[in-house]
Amino acid sequence: MGKKSKSFFSFRRRSKKLQPPQPPLSTLEITGSPSENPLVKPKKKTGGAKLWMRFDRSGKSELVEWEKNTIIRHAAIPARDLRILGPVFSHSSNILAREKAMVVNLEFIKAIVTAEEVLLLDPLRQEVLPFVEQLRQQLPQKTQPKLLGGGGGDDNVPEAAEGLQSEPLPFEFQVLEIALEVVCTYLDSDVADLERGAYPVLDELARNVSTKNLEHVRSLKSNLTRLLARVQKVRDEIEHLLDDNEDMAQLYLTRKWLQNQQAEAHLAATTPNLSIVRRLNSTRSGSLVTSNDDNDVEDLEMLLEAYFMQLDGTRNKILSVREYIDDTEDYVNIQLDNHRNELIQLQLTLTIASFAIAVETLIAGAFGMNIPCTLYKINGIFWPAVGIMTAVSVVIFVLVLAYAKWKKLLGS
């Protein structure tokens, strides 16, 4: 028994040695789907990755899926700006200026604009598609802006920065203009739909005050309030920028970028150390922007004023619809008050008639008692007595009704 057991185990060891060595799992070629190959592990989706669309200055675009940290490093913006573009602030309107980017959150348009590209969040939404199409059509087919007289030996950097090749509008303002145009058009369309549906409903309510018509007007007022709040938010954000020239100056990303390039070229010609160049450039970039006078924001101011006037006109349309609703409600209330007064007058008239009939009923009740009376013995006294009591009741009714009209308790 011992020998058989020993030979058995030795055979197992020999057969195991004869098998070819299996490569480690890391060196195996894994192909196929998880259902076809058990070695394939499904790729974990990162929860923070979102779909973005990149547009460069020439209008070329590409879809990318980036995480939060990638966006922060690429656009050089703080993390709180991404929260502004998140779902919590989806109904807010913000145009924020950063050192190298502009954060735009207008209605459904959520974008990060730099001097060279646009990063658009959720570009496949139905509302965002017109903005994407406008970007592809209207972005100028131009190269990077250059400096006139861009020699490295210019000692006066601000004066050299004034020699920029002039464009109709900087790249970031072209994007901002397209965004404002799309948003204003969208809001105008909503207001037009509101007007088309509001006036027939209000006219129907004025003709017929019913529960169904009142429910339609209530829904209309809710939609109007929400639409007015949306228009007011965009209008207030533009008004806030127009009231602060410093904030508008910070939105000139192309100008800051060109000034930084000019300063870096000038410092590189005079300072051999690249780290010192970048440090000096970062310290001087703020002073280059703040040293400009108020005339430098004239282009942006004219752009914002144009869309501010358009939004103000849209807001006035909504207010006119609300005034029409208020007028209709006042008219309906007057109608209801009139009906209520008519009901009160009818109730008063019936009360007077009831009082007159009650007098006749009182007399008839008195004669209906089993009390001895000489009138019972007179033949043919019934109909004359009834006629007299009815006449007395009618006289009482007329007198009380005339008194109510004299006191103006009843209409003429």
Q: 289 and 149 share a domain?
A: yes
Surface-to-core class of residue 239, CB atoms within 10 Å of its CB (0-12 exposed, 13-18 middle, 19+ buried): middle
CA dihedral 70, 72, 75, 79 (to 10 degrees): 150
Residues 150 and 254 in one domain: yes
Rounded Cα distance, 114 and 98, in Å: 9
68-111 pLDDT per residue, tens: 888 888 888 888 888 888 776 667 788 988 888 899 999 889 99
Backbone phi, then psi, for 103, in 5-degree steps? -95, 120
Kindly state whether residue 20 falls inside one of the protein's structural domains: no
Count of domains in the chain? Answer: 3
Q: Are residues 328 and 218 in the same domain?
A: yes
Which range has highest mean pLDDT (39-53, 56-70, 236-250)? 236-250
Residues 261 and 345 occupy one common structural domain: no
Strands 109-113 vs 117-121: parallel, antiparallel or unpaired: antiparallel
Tokens found for residue 377: 């013995």
- Same domain for 198 and 117, yes or no, is no
The answer on 123 and 77 residing in a single domain is yes
Q: Tens digits of per-residue pLDDT, 119-169?
A: 998 888 898 999 999 888 887 554 444 443 344 444 444 443 344 444 568
Q: Confirm whether 134 is domain-assigned.
A: yes
Q: What is the CATH number of the domain that holds 51?
A: 2.40.128.330
| End-of-domain residue from the set 128, 147, 177 | 128
**Is residue 224 domain-shared with residue 158, that is, in the same domain?**
yes
Shared domain check, 169 and 189: yes
Residues 248, 306, single domain; the answer is: yes
Same domain, 276 and 383: no
Task: Give the model's confidence band at 112: pLDDT under 50 very low, under 70 low, under 90 confident, else very high.
Answer: very high
Residue with the bigger pLDDT between 361 and 162: it is 361
Q: What are the pLDDT digits (tens) for 256-303?
A: 888 777 776 766 667 555 555 455 455 444 444 444 444 478 888 999
Q: Are residues 198 and 124 in the same domain?
A: no
Where among 302, 335, 368 does a domain terminate? 335
Residues in the chain: 412
Looking at 103, 128, 153, which one is the last position of a domain? 128
> What distances in angstroms separate CA 207 from CA 9, 20, 40, 74, 211, one per listed residue?
103, 94, 71, 61, 13
Q: Distance from CA of residue 143 to its chain's centroid? A: 35
For residues 305 and 376, the model is more confident at 305
> What is the dihedral sign for C-alpha 242, 247, 248, 249?
positive
Is residue 123 within 8 Å of residue 52, measured between CB atoms?
A: yes
Longest dimension (CA), the chain: 152
- Taking the C-alpha atoms of residue 27 and residue 125, their distance in angstroms, rounded to an integer, is 42
Structural domain of residue 370, as residue ranges?
337-406
Q: What is the pLDDT of residues 184-209, one digit of tens each?
A: 999 999 999 999 999 999 999 999 88
Q: Do the Cβ atoms of 322 and 224 come closer than 8 Å?
A: yes
Same domain flag for 325 and 177: yes
Q: What is the CATH number of the domain that holds 291?
A: 1.20.58.340
In a domain, 411, yes or no: no
